[in-house]
Structure 1
């Protein structure tokens, strides 16, 4: 959900993924009609926007936003949106890839510390970490904007080709931080789902 316009007592939002089917429009109308403090609202199904006028003395903006956020989880068939289920599966795969990369990098650096460097493990750790980083993110929106990918490019230019395991490690650490952020988003999405049921 994206807030397009907001002034005290009025908010207009855009839903990128919500299908404004008849069923969803009825559910939104029912929900908003029953909410104390909502004065009126206008649903624009063709452009997937919703404009709500509310009484700021009864409802705070954050309460209105929380109510509107729940609508983005609606699906024609059920409350649980496909995007949440897909996001959860995608997150699980990303965690598995990141854990494998972490183990390979730890093995690579451990062998170097013990005085037994292994070029094959170094190469495999670097390649798999690259795969982990490049497979992170939303394909539709493009992955280049993720900090872990940007870090990979910057550190590879800065450190050079002889230090690719260090580049991989730096990028992997940023990838882990991104996964923590993704987990928080998924957790917030789940909390909204539970409130809406």
Structure 2
């Protein structure tokens, strides 16, 4: 789902949102509507840069209630609770982080289980597949130039099929480093 707004900054009693759809709205009416909510102290819309600054009294209206109101007004389907921590990161990078967390969890469980089995189990293959999906699903440019894909190919080739879990772990670690780099490059600029 394409997001309708992004948190630019979130301070107690003050939110700044980037809302691309605001250019299609009568911003004076939007400003008047949100100003009429109980607990809202000031609403300022900058239509040229598509931002809305909302100053509010946190004793009268909660941050999440306010974000749900914005979400409903701009037809945002759901509000992700993780936005509090990673709301300033663009959605495509957030999806990559989520996939990488799942792959990392599966790798951890597979490694813990590995000591009790001599041969790869279904869990091992699931962890490797999840890692491959996490690596291949992010980015839009030539995927063969991504460092995590190159590392995966080299590590699986050099370690051999018997050490498939080790190869997946090395690939996952490089994928995490690449995601950290993308997070810094793809943050929404604070205004």
TM-score, structure 2 as length reference: 0.52
1: CA distance, partners of 2:121 / 2:160: 17
Q: Where does residue 92 of structure 2 map in the other structure?
A: 90
2: CA distance, partners of 1:92 / 1:181: 13
Q: Where does residue 105 of structure 1 map in the other structure?
A: 107
Q: Where does residue 130 of structure 1 map in the other structure?
A: 132
Q: Deviations for 1:36-91, whole angstroms, at most 9, x for unmatched residues?
A: xxxxxxxxxxxxxxxxxxxxxxxxxxxxxxxxxxxxxxxxx85369xxx9x71101
Q: Where does residue 14 of structure 1 map in the other structure?
A: none
Q: How many residues align?
A: 108
Q: Deviations for 1:100-148, whole angstroms, at most 9, x for unmatched residues?
A: 00000000001123x25660100000011011111121x2x22211110
Q: Where does residue 175 of structure 2 map in the other structure?
A: 175
The 1:151–1:78 alpha-carbon spacing in structure 2 relative to 1, beyond 3 Å, is: farther
In structure 1, runs of 5+ residues without a counterpart are 1-76
2: CA distance, partners of 1:158 / 1:91: 30
TM-score, structure 1 as length reference: 0.50
**Structure with a larger share of its residues in helix:** 1
Q: Where does residue 146 of structure 1 map in the other structure?
A: 146
2: CA distance, partners of 1:144 / 1:79: 36
Structure 1 ranges of 4+ moved more than 4 A: none
2: CA distance, partners of 1:179 / 1:128: 16
1: CA distance, partners of 2:48 / 2:153: 42
